[in-house]
Amino acid sequence: MNNKSKSDSYAAAGVDITAGYKAVELMKKHIARTVVNSANSDIGGFGGLFALDLTNYKNPVLVSGTDGVGTKLKLAFLMDKHNTVGIDCVAMCVNDVICCGAKPLFFLDYIACGKNVPEKIASIVEGVAEGCVQSGSELIGGETAEMPGFYPIDEYDLAGFSVGIVDKSKVINKEEMKEGDVMIALPSSGVHSNGFSLVRKVFDVENCDLYKPYEELGGKGLGETLLTPTKIYVKPMLALFDKITVKGVSHITGGGFYENMPRAIKKGLSVKINKEDVRVLPIFKLLQKVGGIDERDMYNTFNMGVGMTAIVDSSDVEVALETLKANGVDAYVLGTIVKGDDGVILC
């Protein structure tokens, strides 16, 4: 900690420089868990360094993704629980990167807050570090900005970005897709990090009892269920890429089925899905019931229990399901690729 750097005038304006130093010290133990191939001598420099090993790449391509957690953070504020939203932040980025076939390498975060409470900042970074561990990424740096008067004193925003790598020959190529291919679903862990503006409105989260157990949720409270971190699919998908050719991958985020699935499907083709084959999670059934939400709106806003999809040749389905199961994902057949420009056909 830099004991010489202190500004009483800045502190009077609401910015405590020393709190920033303390937060860095507290987060170091979490960051250390993520070390993969670091070239950093210490956290706190002006740039994050990463030693790039290109041994197994003929034509390396870097892939990047950036995102935040959105208004799911409101749940963290209300429940005063801050060590899981960092997992969401990492997940939203690395799950995008894996859709290209890329292996995430490193991650940087950005936390903007009304007041820097070192213990709270360290708790947020604890979650970020856990997300990095789950995705095999290294947390090589970040930024914490104390912005009094811009953010409420007890609130913050969280965003980040991931950089991954893939050989050009192994970039996911949807042009290889054909009629008869099969879409496989990788189940979600819950609402993930999308649609929370609607979720918050439906349940009136600022005024309801977030700890009240719901029979529909297996006795869990609403707050606990909604704060469940986004599932990270990196390691299972990398294992799948090693086994078979995957022709398309979709990360099901805001926009649900209708927006995300067509992005990974070849032009002139669509996916046909029988609704009874979708393993809809209880939280979505409760959302639809309480909010009186139209079925199409549900599938056009939420993941509905499907966090990621992979399109494979019909002859590779068994191997794909076995590989994903061996890597902790209870995947299942969701739909079939057919001719047409509808994108998604739910029937």
Residue-level pLDDT, tens digit, the chain, 347 residues: 455 666 666 566 566 667 766 777 877 788 788 787 666 656 667 788 898 999 999 999 999 999 999 999 999 999 999 999 999 999 999 999 999 999 999 999 999 999 999 999 999 999 999 999 999 999 998 999 999 999 999 999 999 999 999 999 999 999 999 999 999 999 999 999 999 999 999 999 999 999 999 999 999 999 999 999 999 999 999 999 999 999 999 999 999 999 999 999 999 999 999 999 999 999 999 999 999 999 999 999 999 999 999 999 999 999 999 999 999 999 999 999 999 998 999 99
**How much is the pLDDT for 128?**
97
Q: What is the pLDDT of residues 205-237, one digit of tens each?
A: 999 999 999 999 999 999 999 999 999 999 999
φ/ψ (deg, to 5) at 199: -55, -45
Between β-strands 332-339 and 182-187, what pairing exists: parallel, antiparallel or unpaired?
antiparallel
Q: What is the pLDDT of residues 168-180, one digit of tens each?
A: 999 999 999 999 9
The label of the residue with tokens 């007041």 reads: 115
| Angle formed at CA 307 by CA 81 and CA 36, multiple of 5 degrees | 70
The pTM of the whole model exceeds 0.85: yes
Write the CB contacts of 152 (distance below 8 Å, at least 6 apart in sequence). 114
**How much is the pLDDT for 1?**
47
SS3 157: strand
What single string gives the DSSP state of each residue in 236-281?
HHHHHHHHS-EEEEEE--TTHHHHHGGGGS-TTEEEEE-GGGS---
